[in-house]
Amino acid sequence: MMTFTPSSVVVGVDVHKFSHTAVAMDPWGQEKGRLEFTNDRLAEYAEWLQSFGKKEDILVALEDVNCYGVHLVSALTTEGFAIRYVPAILTERERKQSTKRHKSDVVDATRVGKVMLTKYEQTLPAKESIAGEKELATAHALELMLTERRDLVKGQTILKNQLHALLHQHYGDHYGDEFRKPFHPSSVGQYVERLTAELTMTELSTEKSIMAATIIRRLTRLTLLTEQIKEITKKMTAVAKDSLDVLALSAHIHGCGMVTAATIMAEVATIKRFATEDKFAMYAGVAPTEHSSGSRNRLHTNPFGNRQLNRALHTIALGQIACKGDKQGKEYYAKKLKEGKTKLWALRCLKRQVANNVFRILKTSAAAKLASEAAR
């Protein structure tokens, strides 16, 4: 827990695509200044920050920004300012709990700063200010490719579902009997040849010809998507192999393949952002929230964690309890079922154990990297 001193200055920033609003305040939440600026005036913003005192006394608070704040974060990192990310859910709660619920850029920036002052332990240091240059570059490259790959896979699934329905209408119940996998490249090629030949038949009805043509177009798009997914996966694997963290996760955790390990590191960037297993689990959304009143104490699922990281841990947990899964994972899952927990809650417990294992492996990997750098 950070201790704010009388000389400390917290600067809350409301980030937008082209312009940003900053409000500086003292440790008691009293406003010391405000500034509206654009990405073209980031140098002016840095000078404005320095007017409040020493850099080590200034803390910039941002909502966990994605693409819109990239130029701002880059400039602040270059200038050496400390940056921390505030989960958007905390600022939304601050607004709902306020007697004044009006919304503006200045008010939002003020709320971000006040959340930092009152709920510092629930915020995280920005990965840009704590991770190494190589770690950041790898995480950013993986994030870009994973985002594109997820979109392509989603589009591929939609196309396959559409094609199942259309091929069933066109050929009947047994449209896929002669193929082990209806959408394997060789199967797609045969479908296209057959449908193309059908279009040359003069006796083919208008309805049948239109359906054949639309199936061909969808099969062509499916082929393109499949090729792009393979290309991105190949490139992503090449980038991931240069990351010791990705290699450590995929080598030591059952059910964690290269894509899943890359997903984890794209979201985490560096494990140095998390002081304990509990904080990492809370960030991943696998630490239950406690609801208690008197002698009654209940645990509820936390829906506010990083959903991509949560999904990666979920994939690992499912892999561990599969038929060819991990012995220890299966035993732990069975133990929780015997304790009376539901299958879903037992799986959540296993996800927490996976998160703890991920944290320990990444901590060990970070220590190994430090030792290697010190030996040079």
Residues near 192 by beta carbon (within 8 Å), at least 6 away in sequence: 216, 219, 220
pLDDT tens, 137-170? 898 899 999 999 999 999 999 999 999 999 999 9
Neighbours of 324 (CB within 10 A): 7
Give pTM, 2 decimals: 0.81
pLDDT at 123 over 80: yes
- Most confident region among 105-114, 119-128, 285-294 by mean pLDDT: 105-114
Q: Which of 348, 268, 364, 369 is nearest to 309 (CA)?
A: 268
d(CA 118, CA 78): 27
Pair 329, 257: CB distance under 8 Å: no
What's the mean pLDDT in 289-296?
Answer: 69
**CA dihedral sign of residues 217, 219, 220, 222:** positive
What is the number of alpha carbons within 13 Å of residue 232 lying toward its C-beta?
Answer: 21
On whether the CB atoms of residues 71 and 39 are closer than 8 A, the answer is yes
The SS3 call for residue 296 is strand
Q: Tokens 């006796």 — which residue?
A: 203
Q: Are 199 and 213 in contact (CB under 8 A)?
A: yes
Phi-psi region of 285 (alpha: psi -120 to 50; beta: other; left: phi over 0): left
Alpha carbons 232 and 225: distance in angstroms, whole number: 11
CATH of domain 9-130: 3.30.420.10
Convert the pLDDT of each residue in 197-222 to its tens digit. Answer: 988 887 778 888 899 999 999 999 99
Q: What are phi and psi of 296, to 5 degrees?
A: -90, 130
Does residue 194 surpass a pLDDT of 70? yes
pLDDT value, residue 305: 81
Could you say which DSSP state residue 125 is in? E
Give bridge partners of residue 14 from the DSSP assignment: 21
pLDDT one-digit tens code per residue, 334-349: 999 999 999 999 999 9
Question: What are the distances in angstroms from CA 8 to CA 5, 24, 46, 350?
Answer: 5, 10, 17, 42
Q: Which of 20, 22, 27, 1 lies closest to 12 in space, CA to CA?
A: 22
Distances (CA, A) of 285 to 279, 280, 313, 374, 375: 10, 9, 10, 35, 37
At 125, the pLDDT band (50, 70, 90 cuts) reads confident
Q: Which residues pair with 24 in a beta bridge?
A: 11, 33
Domain boundaries, the chain: 9-130, 136-240, 244-375
